[in-house]
Structure 1
Amino acid sequence: MSAAETKAADPAVPVQRHPDVLRPQPAGRGRAPRKAGALLPYLLIGPTIVAIAAVFVWPLIKTAVMSFQDVGRRELWTGEAAPWVGFEQFTNIFGDPAFWDSVVLTVVFTTACVVVTLGFGLAISLMMQRMSAWARLLVTAALIAAWSIPLMVAASIFRWFADSDYGVANMVLSKYLGLDFQGHNWFLDAKQGFVVIGAVVVWGAIPFVAITLYAALTQVPKELEEAAAIDGVGAFGNFRYVVFPVIKPVFQMVATLSVIWDFNVLGQVWLMRGTKPEPEYEVLGLYAFNKAFESNSFSQGAAISLITVLLLSGVAVYYLRQLLKIGEVE
């Protein structure tokens, strides 16, 4: 046995210890900074929470309250208490065939816009991945420029494209494709009109989708694609089995956001029809607007808005779940 082991084993021999080992720690030492550090994040996000509550939560509460009342111009202007009518507003809405027509029209229009937006956005992002640096920079600048154009300007541009007398669409179809579209009015038929309105929606949504998906594509490991190529996997198989599983969470998140945005479309329809949309163009947002401000039924407008929130709540929950999954992966 060595001398050091003998010394440690002998109880009579005192063992030297560091002076700080047995030194008693003051009560509460180190707790105050820990508490302050735990409260700091809440203090930092406190103003944001207050702003969100003032801008979103409080108006939502007021909307819910109004939907169970009968608010008229007098109550709206004077602030007097409106009479409570219970579920009468909802009964009237659900019994209106125009409401269900608006819901079906909105669902079909939203589905078409989301599918086209995701298709073109994904195609552009894949092309950006294969471009040179300067070409990708130009495409990104063009996408951001298109995204930054105000809705009123974009609607004016597309109204000029679809103009019956001087529109570019009619000129191209008649002069270069030999079709008889001279003087054709695209908005006489609601289906053709929604094609033009949908083009405005898709054109404004593609930049966000394309840039976001391109950012996701940059996270795909090159080693996986090279291994798939060595194994003889084609381009489609490489995208299906290698690329898409990696970008799938981001793709689902973008698709969910597109559903929420396109379901609430109002400005595009309103502006493309010269602020006087015909009944066949009455999507759900426009239906609520007409009930509230054209018919002066503010409570019915609030009830329709609350129904819209409930319809989209499932989509919002799915979106939050995707965000949490992405956060867990990271």
Structure 2
Amino acid sequence: MSTLPSEARPAVSAIEGERLLAPSAPEPSERRRRSALAGGFTPYALLLPALLVLVAITGWPLVQLLIMSFQEFGRAQVFGAPPEYIGFGNYAAVLTDSEFWQVLGRSVVLAAVCVVATMVLGVLIALLMKRLHAVLRTIVSIGLLLAWAMPPLSATIVWGWIFDTQYGVLNYVLTNWLGLDFAGHSWLIDPLSFFFVASIIIIWGAVPFVAFTVYAGLTQIPDEVLEAAQLDGANGAKSFVLVVVPYIRPILVIVTILQVIWDLRVFTQIYALQSIGGLAEQTNTLGVYIYRVSLGAGEFGIGGAISVIVVLLLAVCSVFYVRRSVKEESL
């Protein structure tokens, strides 16, 4: 039974009727759609100049590359001979070439090793920076920035001096300080040690980006959450796995995908090391292989087909990156 007096019941009924007739609050997705439409065509007009520049710089050469991949395009065509359309002949030649599959497998393994090592070292350095005092953190940040700012070619030359056969610092230390037999040892003549050196150079240049990005994510974790985890008995490892990782998971996913894309198409470090003393036939990766097939052998059509295949592989990785970015923006 109602405890309201009879004279108050009509007023309450009127209020409830107004609530029922009042429009309900729009859903979050509806609010986002309305806010997106509020600007009209102004955002698209502002993006149009940048889009045109992007199409002119990237889109048109990509279309030309796609057309070339269906043509027999060699040195004769460079000097004016008309190209001949051969359909999927270049793709068939590439996909049936055992050397291409060896290069692809070599590139995937190198990228996997570099990505895992880069992510592990980058996260550890970011955690270290979070715990360091301001002065020490500044010193570490300056060192990371110097490594990040160095051009890949310059970094490769410097590391090449370190691993030099006769005058390298590493051979000197291993021989004279540790008593090991590394006098005159060539680090670049063997494919395994060649990629060991290449991995060090690639990881050394990529760790600063990961460290700075993850550190920026760590600074956004509330201290109260970490303190609560410690009060519940979680040690450092458990706090990292159960508290820190869920907070920075979007950052880790995006950075990992970017590292995969960058390491699959690495060129400068491999080509420079080959010029110093590596065997090109046994150490080619996708970027260098495309360069040598196109400009070295003059098979621009086949090089275009390989490039399109690599673009498709990178597009698969980019799809995950774009989907993750869109998902984060919609939250």
Structure 1 stretch 240-249 or stretch 67-76: which is displaced more? Answer: 67-76
Q: Give the % identical residues.
A: 37
Which of 63, 66, 69 is equivalent to 2:68? 66
Residue-by-residue CA offset, 1:103-122 (whole Å, 9 max, x unaligned) = 11001000001011111111
Residue-by-residue CA offset, 1:263-307 (whole Å, 9 max, x unaligned) = 001111111121774211011222211111111100000000000
Q: Which residue of 2 aligns with 1:112?
A: 113
Residue-by-residue CA offset, 1:39-73 (whole Å, 9 max, x unaligned) = 22122111110111111111111111110111122
User: How far did residue 316 of structure 1 move?
Assistant: 0.6
Residue-by-residue CA offset, 1:132-161 (whole Å, 9 max, x unaligned) = 112112211221111111122101100001
Residue-by-residue CA offset, 1:233-271 (whole Å, 9 max, x unaligned) = 010000000000110110010000000000001111111
User: How far did residue 180 of structure 1 move?
Assistant: 1.1
Classify 1:229/1:37 alpha carbon distance in 2 versus 1 (closer, same or farther; 3 Å).
closer
User: How far did residue 179 of structure 1 move?
Assistant: 1.5
1:281 matches 2:283:
yes
Q: Which residue of 2 aligns with 1:313?
A: 315
Any idea what SS the aligned residue of 2:72 has?
Answer: coil
- Give the Cα separation in 2 of the matches to 1:312 and 1:228: 39
Structure 1 stretch 275-284 or stretch 111-120: which is displaced more? Answer: 275-284
1:324 matches 2:326:
yes
User: How far did residue 37 of structure 1 move?
Assistant: 4.6
Classify 1:37/1:228 alpha carbon distance in 2 versus 1 (closer, same or farther; 3 Å).
closer
Residue-by-residue CA offset, 1:7-32 (whole Å, 9 max, x unaligned) = xxxxxxxxxxxxxxxxxxxxxxxxxx
Structure 1 stretch 56-65 or stretch 301-310: which is displaced more? Answer: 56-65
Q: Which residue of 2 aligns with 1:4?
A: none
Amino acid at match of 2:65: T
- Give the Cα separation in 2 of the matches to 1:326 and 1:142: 31
1:55 matches 2:57:
yes
**Which stretches of structure 1, 4 residues or longer, exceed 6 Å deviation after superposition?**
none
Amino acid at match of 1:115: V
Gaps of 5+ in 2: 1-36
Residue-by-residue CA offset, 1:79-124 (whole Å, 9 max, x unaligned) = x642110010011111111011001100100000101111111110
Aligned Cα root-mean-square deviation (Å):
1.7
TM (norm. structure 2) is 0.86
Any idea what SS the aligned residue of 1:38 has?
Answer: coil
How many residue pairs get aligned? The number is: 295
8 Å contact from structure 2 (residues 188, 273) kept in 1? no
Gaps of 5+ in 1: 1-34
Structure 1 stretch 100-109 or stretch 145-154: which is displaced more? Answer: 145-154
Q: Which residue of 2 aligns with 1:204?
A: 205
User: How far did residue 325 of structure 1 move?
Assistant: 2.3
